[in-house]
């Protein structure tokens, strides 16, 4: 069954990893966050909220609809004086007009039933000249063949029904651009990013991460027996005794207010 973001047992699922240098390099190509006010909508456990803070933002507000995620984010960000967190909904944040210089939404919109309202709310939050950044996987991204780096591809090789689920919930590129224009955004640009998710010293480390379903909501569609079948399947595909650098392909859209 789908992940329950309000469940205490999943409160660290999107929390303890650090944003990789591949993400940081791409973001700095897009925008200079130094001295800016950033809103991270759908912040989860604050991984990217903290990343924006380390990049020099004046203040980063992490917003999430899950009280469990907000609690985790606050606990893990105690040393980040330029961050704060609060509960809120992506289509009705409760924040004032023109609150932010940058609005960031990563792995969020595929969970939403009303994307246009989310985009309109993000437009409302931005100052004139502000930038909106969406990071999501499209059907083209999730459909990349499996490899030692693209571990997620093995999920779909072993259980094709998972790919059907992904295709149905993932946004179409042209559709997102059209919705951004309708919400009043301009100067819309699109980028592709291979983001390093994590480096594992050996397959055992990867297997443990998969068993925890860490940061992989699609694995909540499998029961424990199926998950063990998947781990065994991947173990056959990947050479043993070698470090594994796991990457995911993303699409990034930027748009200006």
pTM of the entire predicted model: 0.91
Q: Specify if 3 maps to a domain.
A: no
pLDDT of residue 79: 95
Q: What is the pLDDT of residue 6?
A: 44
In a domain, 2, yes or no: no
Whether residue 236 is contained in a domain is answered as yes
In a domain, 120, yes or no: yes
State the Cα–Cα distance between residues 167 and 169, nearest whole angstrom: 6
Position 215 scores a pLDDT of 84
Q: Hey, which residues does 196 pair with through a beta bridge? A: 247
pLDDT averaged over 10-residue windows placed end to end, the chain, 257 residues: 46 65 97 98 96 98 94 95 96 96 96 95 97 97 96 97 95 95 96 96 94 91 98 92 93 96
Joined tokens for residue 4? 């329950």
Q: Return the pLDDT at 13.
A: 47
> What does the pLDDT read at residue 17?
80
Domain total in the chain = 1
Opening angle at CA 13, ends 7 and 19, nearest 5: 145
pLDDT of residue 182: 95
The CATH number linked to 248 is 3.40.50.150
In this structure, is residue 132 part of a structural domain? yes
- At 162 the pLDDT is 97
Smallest CA-to-CA distance from 163 within 146, 135, 143 is with 143
Residue 1 within any structural domain of the chain: no
Residues 52-93 have pLDDT tens digits of 999 999 999 999 999 999 999 999 999 999 999 999 999 999
Categorise residue 215: left if φ over 0, alpha if ψ from -120 to 50, beta otherwise.
left
Q: For residue 3, what pLDDT is reported?
A: 43
Whether 54 maps to a domain, the answer reads yes
The reply to whether 32 falls in a domain is yes
Pair type for strands 100-106 and 83-87: unpaired
Containing domain of residue 184, as a range? 8-256
Give the integer Cα–Cα distance in Å for 162 and 155. Answer: 7
Per-residue model confidence (pLDDT) at position 2 = 53
C-alpha to C-alpha distance for 18 and 225, rounded to whole angstroms: 30
Return d(Cα 213, Cα 7) in angstroms, integer: 14
């Amino acid at each position: 069954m789908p992940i329950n973001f309000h469940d205490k047992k999943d409160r660290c699922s999107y929390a303890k990893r650090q944003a990789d240098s591949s993400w940081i390099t791409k973001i700095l190509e897009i925008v200079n966050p130094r001295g800016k006010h950033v809103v991270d909508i759908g912040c989860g456990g604050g991984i990217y909220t903290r990343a924006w803070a380390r990049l020099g933002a004046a203040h980063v507000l992490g917003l999430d609809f899950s009280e469990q995620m907000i609690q985790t984010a606050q606990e893990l960000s105690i040393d980040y004086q330029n961050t704060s967190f609060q509960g809120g909904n992506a289509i009705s944040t409760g924040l004032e007009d023109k609150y932010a210089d940058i609005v960031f939404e990563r792995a969020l919109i595929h969970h939403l039933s009303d994307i246009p309202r989310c985009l309109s709310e993000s437009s409302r939050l931005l100052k004139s000249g502000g930038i909106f950044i969406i990071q999501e996987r499209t059907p083209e991204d999730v459909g990349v063949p499996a490899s030692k780096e693209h571990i997620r591809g093995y999920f779909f090789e072993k259980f094709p029904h998972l790919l059907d689920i992904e295709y149905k919930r993932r946004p179409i590129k042209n559709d997102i651009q059209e919705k951004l224009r309708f919400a009043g955004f301009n100067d819309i640009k699109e980028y592709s990013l291979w983001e390093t998710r994590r480096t594992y010293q050996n397959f055992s480390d990867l297997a443990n991460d998969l068993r925890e379903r860490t940061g992989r909501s699609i694995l909540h569609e499998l029961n424990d027996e199926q998950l063990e079948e998947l781990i065994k399947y991947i173990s056959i595909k990947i050479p043993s005794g070698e470090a594994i650098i796991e990457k995911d392909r993303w699409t990034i859209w930027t748009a200006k207010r």
